[in-house]
């Protein structure tokens, strides 16, 4: 090739390289724009979901918990009530004169709640079974921080609400099993599958609905609202202003401040609060077992 031909060939080669680079740059620009578009869409979708979930109105609370608690009476049969609508004020439950009205605000992760339950569950159960007392159980969530990010307090309270809603007459047995299998504080707690296993042990009805309710967190908004109401007060049907810790145990509206591990002390408080031990409707001060 002559000198001019070599120069022309070099120019052509350079031209081809510039064209290839231009196409490559153009292709990369399209890819970048497309990627940014995907990211932008993802951000918009994420923000929209957050806004929608924030604006989504809270659903009603569980049936049979119009007071934010479930009342268990003679033979462990629950009192039935409609579900509390979002924003509604809890309705104080009522009990017959002479019957011990025991109300317990508890967190299923709370070790002190576990002590009270282990000490008094059997004798309270005897009183309730015979009709000498009713027990009103208020599951709240104040110890989510103690379950290593799994929010066990909220999940367990939601599960309790699911049982109250779909199988209320098995609530007492479920509550008992939850404390018999209580995890230690500052652990992950029971997972949902383990809680569902306890529900089966409790002999609940409508198992499929309860399982779905647990997995969907159907009453988590109610748990948050009920907890806020308990911590801010006032407490329905009680002279106690608000819950300052768990367990908060009330007998006929009066707060129990005695030992959590002395069944005799609690029995004596119940008898003293309700009235004379000779009343046929008043539970015996003798602890079970």
In the sheet that holds 254-255, the strands lie side by side as: 70-72, 133-139, 100-106, 248-251, 254-255
What six digits make up the tokens of 84? 């509390």
What's the rounded mean pLDDT across residues 190-196? 97
pLDDT for position 9: 77
2/54: higher pLDDT? 2
pLDDT for position 261: 97
Q: Worst-scoring range by mean pLDDT, 2-11, 82-91, 223-232? A: 2-11
Q: Is it the case that residue 47 has pLDDT exceeding 50?
A: no
Phi, psi of 70 (to 5 degrees): -105, 130
- What is the maximum alpha-carbon separation in the chain? 128
pLDDT band at 270; cut points 50, 70, 90 = very high
Predicted TM-score (pTM) of the model is 0.78
pLDDT for position 35: 67
Q: Checking DSSP bridges between strand 248-251 and strand 254-255, what pairing results, if any?
A: antiparallel
Specify the DSSP class assigned to residue 108. Answer: T
Measured CA to CA, the distance from residue 214 to residue 171 in angstroms comes to 15
Which CATH number is 70-274 given? 3.40.30.10
Q: Is it the case that residue 107 has pLDDT exceeding 60?
A: yes
Q: Is it the case that residue 209 has pLDDT exceeding 80?
A: yes
Q: Worst-scoring range by mean pLDDT, 81-90, 113-122, 206-215? A: 81-90
Scanning the chain, the segments in alpha helix (DSSP H) are 3-55, 111-130, 152-166, 171-180, 192-201, 207-216, 220-232, 263-274
231/21: higher pLDDT? 231
Q: How far is CA 99 from CA 41, 42, 222, 273, in A?
A: 62, 59, 29, 11
The domain ranges of the chain are 1-56, 70-274
Tell me the pLDDT of the chain averaged across its residues.
Answer: 88
What percentage of the chain carries pLDDT values higher than 70? Answer: 87
Per residue in 121-179, pLDDT (tens digit) is: 999 999 999 999 999 999 999 999 999 999 999 999 999 999 999 999 999 999 999 99
Terminal Cα-to-Cα distance of the chain (whole angstroms): 113
Q: How far is CA 268 from CA 105, 114, 262, in A?
A: 20, 20, 10
Q: What residues contact residue 133 under an 8 Å CB cut-off, 6+ apart?
A: 99, 100, 101, 102, 124, 127, 270, 283
pLDDT for position 280: 45
Sequence-distant contacts of 197-205: CB under 8 A, at least 24 apart = 198/174, 199/159, 199/163, 199/174, 201/173, 201/177, 202/163, 202/170, 202/173, 202/174, 202/177, 203/170, 203/173, 204/163, 204/166, 204/167, 204/170, 204/174, 205/166, 205/167, 205/170
């Amino acid at each position: 090739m002559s000198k001019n031909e070599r120069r022309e060939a070099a120019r052509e080669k350079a031209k081809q390289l510039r064209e290839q680079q231009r196409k490559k740059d153009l292709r990369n620009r399209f890819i970048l724009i497309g990627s940014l578009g995907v990211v932008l869409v993802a951000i918009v979708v994420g923000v929209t979901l957050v806004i929608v979930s924030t604006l989504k109105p809270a659903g009603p609370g569980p049936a049979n918990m119009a007071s934010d608690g479930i009342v268990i009476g003679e033979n462990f049969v629950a009192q039935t009530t409609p579900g509390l609508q979002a924003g509604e004020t809890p309705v104080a439950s009522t009990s017959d004169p002479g019957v011990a009205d025991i109300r317990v605000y508890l967190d299923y992760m709370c070790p002190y709640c576990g002590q009270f339950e282990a000490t008094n569950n059997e004798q309270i159960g005897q009183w309730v079974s015979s009709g000498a007392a009713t027990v009103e159980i208020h599951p709240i969530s104040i110890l989510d921080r103690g379950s290593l990010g799994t929010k066990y307090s909220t999940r367990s309270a939601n599960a309790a609400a699911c049982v109250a809603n779909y199988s209320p007459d098995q609530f007492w047995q479920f509550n008992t099993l939850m404390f018999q299998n209580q995890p230690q504080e500052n652990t992950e707690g029971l997972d949902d599958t383990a809680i569902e296993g306890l529900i089966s042990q409790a002999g609940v009805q409508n198992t499929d609905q309860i399982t779905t309710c647990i997995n969907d967190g159907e009453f988590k908004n109610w748990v948050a609202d009920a907890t806020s109401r308990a911590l801010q007060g006032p407490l329905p049907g009680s002279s106690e202003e608000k819950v300052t810790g768990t367990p908060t145990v009330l007998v006929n509206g009066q707060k129990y401040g005695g030992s959590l591990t002395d069944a005799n002390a609690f029995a004596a408080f119940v008898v003293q609060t309700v009235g004379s031990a000779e009343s046929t409707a008043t539970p015996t001060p003798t602890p079970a077992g």
